[in-house]
A and B are shown apart, each in its own frame.
Chain A
Amino acid sequence: MSLKVVIPTPLRKYTAGAETVEVQAATVKEVLDNLDSKYPGFRASVCDETGGLRRFINIYLDGEDVRFLENLATPVADGAEIAIVPAISGG
């Protein structure tokens, strides 16, 4: 299944500056796996040593935080949009 991934500025060093990339994947985890094989080092920058998402990184599937879904195991449909967004403060 093909879907679009929106890459934030700090991670574009892996994607040769590309703002969005297309990947084939069935789950969020596969999205990261596939990005990592395409762009070595990518996963380590969004996941910690245990393989979970880093504390200050959010991943959204069509606008919904995957933490509200099934985290990295969340299934992704054809044509979905994944956005990787660093956490920001506020108020």
Chain B
Amino acid sequence: MSFVKGLKCRECGREYPVKLLAGCEECFGPLEADYHYEAIAKKLTRDALSSRPRTIWKYRELLPLESEPKIGLATGGTPLIRAERLGRKLGIDNLYLKNDSVNCPTLSFKDRVTAVAVNKALEFKLEAVGCASTGNLANSVAANAAAAGLPSFILIPDNLEPSKVAATQIFGSRVIAVKGNYDAVNRLCSQIVDRYPWGFVNVNLRPFYAEGSKTIGYEVAEQLGWHAPDAIVIPMAGGAMISKIYKGLKELQRLGWISETERTRLYGAQAAGCNPIVDAVRRGTRDIRPVKPNTIAKSLAIGNPADGYYAASLISQSGGWAEDCTDDEIVAGIQLLAETEGIFTETAGGVTVAVAQKLVEQGRIQQKDLTVLAITGNGLKTLEALDLAPPQLIEPKLAAFEEVFGGAYHVA
């Protein structure tokens, strides 16, 4: 069933057959799956898609698996929500939220990428899988590995949120905390993969893994009635998701499923305490200066983003922009989304909302723009970032209740 032509280096164009490979063996550039698009266009139509179940596998011809997926079967197909109340607060008439905080099985967009990567690990008959992770990827690899019956090795920085650590350990994963930040963890994983015959989803399974993010672009376009949005705001850590959403939209144009003339401006969001891609966009360059992360948005705390170069390039080419926000603004963003739309997102989602607000204030996103915010993770995973007052405590008596709330509200 596969329409994959092979792997191709994004830098030098060198082609490789489908195999376990971290990057181009000549120039170290990232590899991308390439497809027989003409054959896909002949076989598949938008109408045929409409009767398929709403999961990422709806678009399986555009994903790099050779056989039917075995795990992650319920992943994707998350809601695209019209956000009128948040839109009024932000000053956007046509605002939508792509709500991956309810993705399956582990409540973040990472379920999309690991579903592809772990199925690929099964195809390659690997003994074990693993990853370097800032949390969400850890949860998702651990869950999908458990479902696949594969052992998993998850390496994390030693300062992760306890809930993200627990939500990895519970799946029977070998979780190893590494002294240092994500970039140190990543370096170690690269060396582990060099020595052991395992599949690390973001290292030697990366060309396959990364393709999973395209499905956000497919779903958003299909949910908008096969239209590309005018603007999309996307949180950035390693910078891969933003370029894969772009790739997804370009593929839909290539297949003739959305109009060639529709252009989406890509907007990247980072925390001020870890903003190497925003910094590059502001300097008008694509060259990333690595930073040492210091932010509550730990899922975005990658100081040396491997795909930052492409993220910065595409943001500029698309006519978009990148912005950052402080930790206080992140918490305010989480609260604003929760109070207006009833969606509880993690710190990365707070970054997206806070940055969207700035982009409107700067006039970069206009009131009439059909705008999508990528809400990529769930708030229950980063409770530590919030500082909410404890609830008021009263005796179980009506008088006590009325003493606290009496007269303050009336029932309409």
Interface 1/0 per residue, B282-302 and A, CB below 8 Å: 000001011010000001001
Give the CA-CA distance A57 to B202 in the complex, in Å: 16
Q: Number of B residues contacting the other chain (C-beta, 8 Å)?
A: 47
User: Given contacts A8-B194, A68-B290, are A89 and B28 in contact (CB under 8 A)?
Assistant: no
Give the CA-CA distance A44 to B46 in the complex, in Å: 47
A88 interface contact, C-beta 8 A = yes
Question: Which B residues touch A90, using CB under 8 A?
Answer: 131-134, 137, 182, 186, 202, 237-238, 302, 306
In chain B, what residue has the closest Cβ to A86? B28
Residue from the set B11, B292, B306 with the largest chain A CB neighbour count within 10 Å: B306
Q: Number of A residues contacting the other chain (C-beta, 8 Å)?
A: 24
Q: Helix, strand, loop or mixed for chain A's interface?
A: mixed
Inter-subunit contact A91/B27 (CB<8 Å): no
Interface residues of A in 65-91 (CB under 8 A from B): 65, 67-68, 83, 85-91
A24 interface contact, C-beta 8 A = no
Give the CA-CA distance A63 to B181 in the complex, in Å: 11
A6 interface contact, C-beta 8 A = yes
Question: Which B residues touch A65, using CB under 8 A?
Answer: 183, 290, 304
Interface 1/0 per residue, B17-49 and A, CB below 8 Å: 000001111111110000000000000000000
Inter-subunit contact B190/A88 (CB<8 Å): yes
User: Given contacts A60-B187, A85-B190, are A67 and B290 in contact (CB under 8 A)?
Assistant: yes
Inter-subunit contact A57/B28 (CB<8 Å): yes
Question: Which A residues touch B30, using CB under 8 A?
Answer: 56, 89
B279 interface contact, C-beta 8 A = no
Inter-subunit contact A88/B136 (CB<8 Å): no
Given contacts A89-B206, A91-B299, 12 further A-B contacts (CB under 8 A): A6-B191, A8-B190, A19-B194, A54-B27, A55-B29, A55-B287, A56-B27, A56-B306, A88-B206, A89-B240, A90-B132, A91-B241
| A interface residue numbers (CB < 8 A to B) | 6, 8-10, 19, 45, 54-58, 60, 63, 65, 67-68, 83, 85-91
Q: What are 14 A-B interface contacts by the 8 Å CB criterion?
A: A45-B27, A55-B29, A55-B287, A56-B27, A60-B187, A88-B132, A88-B189, A88-B206, A89-B210, A90-B133, A90-B137, A90-B237, A90-B238, A91-B237
